[in-house]
Structure 1
């Protein structure tokens, strides 16, 4: 990756890239990533729930989600959809909200769903993380969220 500029100085582009090969059709996997009733079942790290999910699935449309810790602490995030190509690709902005409900450091997420034989390869990319600490925390959180997503997708597929 080439460095990005920040305030006239060069800095490394902090990004997360995670991949999962899932033995399910990408149409299903795309729906599970874009429909609120499904997002509520897997969004967020292990041991956290997503009690509030709103999605306006159109380019320029907004999304907003809350994840809740077992101790009852809420973490809100939101963004806008930049590109939607069902069932291949989603691009959206992502920002955590501070206590006043204002966005903190905005980031961009791309989720690709590629057909690989009988499987779908999901590639998750999040760029412009603000610092190395956030990169480490979010990498762990997204690893867990994707594990929940895959388990939910497999269970949903079995249910028919």
Structure 2
């Protein structure tokens, strides 16, 4: 199993950043790597329960990921399970994602994305690339 942790600092206050990582309309502004669209989704991460999204790249390839929101601690953290579906819509290996939001002591926010239980180092590298790309979008709207 492999894990990854990505940290960012935002000029926006913690309440605003927390809204961007939990409220569907705000989350959709940065969800998925750059160049992807998200035509199908159920992304309310404000409460426990199922979530899902389908990301589509420029070539029209579809990538479905689903899970359950398992812990919500507003405005500090949200944790969810994460599993990709294959071309037959069979759900694969399940990992966990945790978004942590805290004041940075200067009016902004320290944000941490922790993705644990990835199947191997290759999966961790791929997810690091995808999350880093998505976080670039978040940086543009939360700074």
Query: TM over 0.5, yes or no?
Result: yes
Aligned to 2:117: 128
Instruction: Considering Cα pairs closer than 8 Å and 6+ residues apart, tell me whether 1 or 2 has the greater RCO.
Output: 2
Aligned to 1:7: none
Aligned to 2:41: 53
Aligned to 2:141: 152
1:103 aligns with 2:91: yes
In the alignment, the residues of structure 2 paired with residue 120 and residue 76 of structure 1 have an alpha-carbon distance, to the nearest angstrom, of 30
SS in 1 for 2:118: coil
CA RMSD of superposed structures (Å)? 1.3
Aligned to 1:14: 2
Deviates more, 1:98-107 or 1:19-28: 98-107
- Structure 1 stretches of at least 4 aligned residues deviating more than 6 Å after TM superposition: none
5+ residue gaps, structure 2, are none
Aligned to 2:75: 87
5+ residue gaps, structure 1, are 1-12, 155-160
CA offsets, 1:97-131, max 9 Å, x none?
11222211100011100111211100000011112
In the alignment, the residues of structure 2 paired with residue 142 and residue 30 of structure 1 have an alpha-carbon distance, to the nearest angstrom, of 17
- TM (normalized to structure 2)? 0.92
Distance apart, 1:68 and its partner CA: 1.0
In the alignment, the residues of structure 2 paired with residue 111 and residue 65 of structure 1 have an alpha-carbon distance, to the nearest angstrom, of 17
Work out which of the residue numbers 36, 51, 54 in structure 2 matches 1:66: 54
